[in-house]
A = this chain, B = another copy of it.
Amino acid sequence: MKVTVLGSSSALPTSERFPSAHVLNAHERLYLIDCGEGTQMQMRKNKVRFGKINHIFISHLHGDHVFGLYGLLSTFNLMGRNSPVHLYAPANYHEMMLSHLSDFDIHLGFEIDFIALSGENSVRILDDKYLTVTSFPLDHRVSAYGFLFREKPSLRNIRKEAIEQYEIPSVRIPAIKKGEDFIAKDGSVIKNGEITIPGPKQLSYAYCSDTKYFSRLPGFIKDTDLLYHEATFDKSLSELASMTGHSTTIDAARIAREAGAGALLIGHFSARYRDINALVNEARSVFLQTFPAIDGRTYEVGNISEP
């Protein structure tokens, strides 16, 4: 899995930073998370393939997370799309969106499958071949949700020597990869653990924006490999952060530490910061594996290193 940042600004974009949008690539399927103004232009610039996006997740209904959606849907339409778009957004958005599309004379030639986000707990909202996705509440000025993308358990790998040693027929291999034991010719049971090794680690990516420090968050995203958490403000502005429903660098880093995250990506930076190194350094004082979200950069989940 890898995630490409298309926008890392908060509400006020700068010449370097567009508003929020991430694209998660999991097994060559693309998942768009938030869709701030200009997302479709950033997709073109970064060669993100429009036809590969079937799922769009909108964290909340503030413009810097959703103003790019109508343009993107219009573009899908103009490109002749006919496969459905699965749209995950706060429940009250469904009717609103249909009315906005109609106001702007947009008649989609494809279906929007609307999945309403709601509730005070973690909810599984998607379960496909490779991933499960759960949504969970954040603590912002309006209803807002985070998302956890978790790879499904991968198949175990059979040791080559075991295949020879126990004369395992190929027809049995799929079951063994799934964890079954093997019954040898002489009737003896060979424990799965003796003939297989674990497959690749299941990775997970958590997206948390916008939110103030929220003590329930670590419970929703325990041990995630990569946590994206907003850090709109530096630590000196914690009151402003709290007042506006946002986090400081330290808030984000605390969540990463408490969740046992593998790495932390911070973004949604206030336009007041030209140089974001200071923000990263603040977060690192609490959580060392912190990296900045930068427009157009791709981060490998489970394997982020200093650029």
Answer whether A67 and B63 are a contact pair too, CB < 8 Å, given A18-B41, A40-B37, A41-B18.
Answer: no
Please give the distance in Å from A65's CB to the nearest CB on chain B: 10
Which stretch from A7-15, A126-134, A284-292 is at the chain B interface? A7-15
Q: A13-B44, A44-B13, A79-B12 are in contact. Are A67 and B71 (CB under 8 A)?
A: yes
Indicate if A45 sits at the interface (CB-CB under 8 A).
yes
Q: Could you tell me if B104 and A37 are in contact, using CB atoms closer than 8 angstroms?
A: no
At the interface, yes or no: A96 with Cβ under 8 Å from chain B?
A: yes
Q: Smallest distance from the beta carbon of A37 to chain B beta carbons, Å?
A: 4
A100 interface hit (Cβ, 8 Å): yes
A162 part of interface (Cβ distance < 8 Å): no
Which B residues lie within 8 Å of A61 (CB)? 103-105
Copies in the complex: 2
With a cutoff of 8 Å between Cβ atoms, the chain B residues found around residue A253 in the complex are none
Q: In this assembly, does A157 line the interface, its C-beta being within 8 Å of a C-beta of chain B?
A: no
User: Which residue in chain B gives the minimum CB-CB distance to A72?
Assistant: B37
Q: How far is the CB of A236 from chain B (nearest CB, A)?
A: 20
A66 to B37 Cα, complex, angstroms: 12
Cβ 8 A contact of A45, one of B15, B103, B104: B15
Binary CB contact string for chain A from 37 to 60 against chain B (1 if under 8 A, 0 otherwise)? 110110011000000000000000
B12:A78 contact, CB within 8 angstroms:
yes
Q: Find A11's partner among B68, B78, B141 (CB 8 Å cutoff).
A: B78
Does A192 count as interface, using CB distance less than 8 angstroms? no
> Within the assembled complex, what's the spacing in Å between the Cα atoms of A220 and B181?
84
The chain B residue with its CB closest to the CB of A14 is B44
Select from chain B the residue with minimum beta-carbon distance to A101: B63
Neighbouring B residues of A70 by C-beta, 8 Å: 63, 67
A106 within 8 A of B: yes
**SS of A interface (majority):** loop
- The answer to whether B62 and A105 have CB atoms under 8 Å apart is yes
| A13 & B41 in contact (Cβ 8 Å cutoff) | yes
Quick check: is A142 within 8 A (CB to CB) of the other chain?
yes
The reply to whether the CB of A75 lies closer than 8 angstroms to some CB of chain B is yes
Beyond known contacts A37-B67, A63-B104, A63-B106: 8 more, CB 8 A cutoff = A12-B78, A13-B40, A15-B44, A18-B41, A64-B71, A67-B67, A67-B71, A96-B103
A74 at the interface (CB under 8 A from B): yes
Contact A11 B104 (CB under 8 A): no
User: Can you spell out 23 A-B residue pairs with CB atoms less than 8 angstroms apart?
Assistant: A11-B74, A11-B75, A12-B75, A12-B78, A13-B40, A15-B44, A37-B38, A37-B40, A37-B41, A37-B67, A37-B71, A38-B38, A61-B103, A61-B104, A61-B105, A62-B104, A63-B70, A63-B71, A66-B104, A67-B67, A67-B71, A96-B103, A100-B103
Q: How far is the CA of A40 from the CA of B14 in the complex (A)?
A: 9
